[in-house]
Structure 1
Amino acid sequence: MTQSTAVYSQDFLKALEIGRPPNIKKLFPNSRALIVSGKYIDRAMLAKGGAMTIAANGRSNLVIRGSLAAAQRANAAIIIEIARSEGGASSYCATNYWNIARQVDALCNEMGVTAPVAIHADHYGIKKPEDVAPAAVEIPTLFEAGITSIAIDASHMPDAQNLAANLALNEFVPDWAGLETEVGEIKGKSGLSTVDEAKFLIAGLNAHGIVADWIALNNGTTHGIEASDQGIQVELTTEIHKALEPYATSGAQHGTSGNNSDRLRRIAAETHTTKANVATALQMISWGLEVNDYGNAQLDADGNFIKVKGQGLTEELWEEMKAYAAKQDWKGGNYKKLNLPFENKIMGQPQEVRARMAKRVEDFVYTLLTDVFNAGDTAPLAIEAILKAGSHDPGPKAERIEDPADWTPEKYQARAASLEKEDGPEGDFDD
């Protein structure tokens, strides 16, 4: 798909008129890209049932292009995101919090994409209480630049501080925007999230009138290249999601690149997960590396990535990237740092090379959406939700059920001290 051949239905045009948030209308007044709140993407998956969509980390323009093409082909609502480590003030990608919406809008208009798309600021990390004040300054700029959904990730801190940071920063997130929160990253690979911890965070938010659309858990996976076969713990995830049903919070699954298709199908079918992040796999696939059926890059006997000849990057550029990585002593997952210094060289390749890079991403994402995530044909469900609400804001999924008097700082700090926890070595997983 290289140029717009879209036929715009009356429902789409009406959704375009009423469903785009104020920041998107201001930035792109003449656009026909249906960029919407993350809330509507979640609602579409819930309407279908047993479905989750990809949150594709757009580490490069070609990854974004391929992901959007796949969404259009699958008739699926989708999320395009970038994490703070990938595209924040200190980043390793050319795509960032402040240009990702402009890229998505331009590509949707160029290709005639009619699938609803949310622009998600993933892993907006708060690692210590002192990070809250500068975040209060920076977060509004993300929405001014076209973000329509955000993950406030204070999971690197203890539970009470995690809740406190989420409460303090919520006033800088528009009411209409999709909201994700997270628990458990502090414990690294082996200390998993518990029901108590997840319920503490979501109930504490609820007591203050905040209904999170998603919660991300440390449920047995890591970010980046997954070496073990432990993978996502489906039963644990199901148990936690069951406990959160009164608060209507969906799941956001992180680290999908290290899990096989059958496990991901179970996450979609057996849990309340509606958002599944895919980052490293899309990067490796676009470059033309050999991957297994779920996007994990394969290594040769010497531990080096295997480039498929005639796929992805030109062989000459790949050799240049490898030499650059060797000079920097970057190996394995640290190849992600090649994104920033090589984006312009990637975009300077011949058109047929760029097209095959995007097509490789498209085919992989299409298979995920239709055969693994059960997200096919969710685009009309998102549009239907917009028309039903008659607004860019569908409102919260749940009412306040917790008593604010039970969730004062003093009381939630005391409650956090008695939570059932599963300890593990400290984690630091940003994307």
Structure 2
Amino acid sequence: MRDRTSSHPGYWPSAWPVECGGNRRQKASPGRLDAASGAASVISRHDDKWHVMAIERNSGQWYVGGTMAAFSGPPPFGWVERIDPNTLDVLAASPQLPCGDHVWCGAILAHANGSIMSVNGNYLHRLDPDDLSILVERRLPADRSHNGLLALADGSLITKDLRLEGQGGTTLTRLDPGSLEILGQPLVLPEGSMGRIAANLELDGTETVYVPGTEHLWRIHLEGDELVIDAEWQPRYRTADDRFGLSWDACLSDDVCWAMDCGDVASVRRIHQTEPNGRFGTPPGRDLSWRLDAPWDGPQRLHRISLTDPTAHVVIEPFGTAGGGIIAPPVHVPEFDMAIAWDSINGGLAGVSTADGGLEVAWHLDVRASMQPVVFPESGELVINDFTAAGTDDVIVVDIATGALLARVATGSRIANGMFLTPGGNRDIFYCSTLTVARIAWS
């Protein structure tokens, strides 16, 4: 079942108003690139910013949001820009947005009420869509970096702080989209949570929120203004201090929750074991590289967990290489019965057949992916990055069915991370990374 975000009542009617294109995080775009039969052109901009994601409000009205790569030195802040999609020129820019001095990738979205919402550090802002001035500012109750921001069907906003194993329970906060007043009591989970939240809008109009914990995956129901943990769906994907790391975000597809573990790599641990998160007295340098050896010896795993029966849990190790690790979640493409997984530390991209409820590796490709991808089901194309041995970050297009490499485009970036690719709707892709934002277009 495909996201139809344009009809989701929480968002401005747009093809891509929020990260991953919708709350189920299927990352699926209408249309096609046909990259193998076209020529690619690249426009890039290099600066001192950590670019996290691009979203669209009205047709052709594009925003990029992020934070500063200020791991030491002057205080960090969040920011949002409205850009010309063809030149990447800045048409409007927000003021410096307070973030509680935390350095981490937040999120932006285009809300149904017309505003641009931004979460960064422990602050949430509602911004004017034209000049990006601050309409409302809210300091969040948990003084830690927050990742992930979604609009629910009633228009309310939900976000969460990020906590690793041993750092206490993660706080989920639901807020009014106008005043940004907190609705009900924030919910503190029994575990920490690293990955971003997903949500599922059911046919009966109810909505459930999914949170990856440090040992379990959690489902949250809305009961009035309160957030309530589902006692019947709490599948366990790892045990404390076992051979595998924590899960990033979940992808909800075909009534299944898809997740990869081994995500709290050494650099992520270092960032979130400091206070404020990501701030160091001296430049941390290579200590923040995701290429460092994993803190565990287990291989990268992909999990398939039924949304109706938490005991229907299937796991596969697509690569089998010790010390696997990732900094972004998987994607499932129901039209091809294929999940896409990768191992960023060791390298390798895999198509995993999901036919008949099982998991079986269908193909391998020797690339080093790390980003949140985009898929084009109509043309069977996957867009993701490949951080090369030469230290450049390329965007590649892969055939979902066969794993064939269809196209490779140099972005001009020499830093790869786990940020978001976004379809532009005109055979183009927006690329966001630390110090670089780019647009790749095919003709």
Q: Fold match, TM over 0.5? A: no
Higher relative contact order (CA 8 A, sep 6+): 1
Q: Given the two structures, how large is their TM-score scaled by the length of structure 2?
A: 0.29
Instruction: Decide which structure has greater helix share.
Output: 1
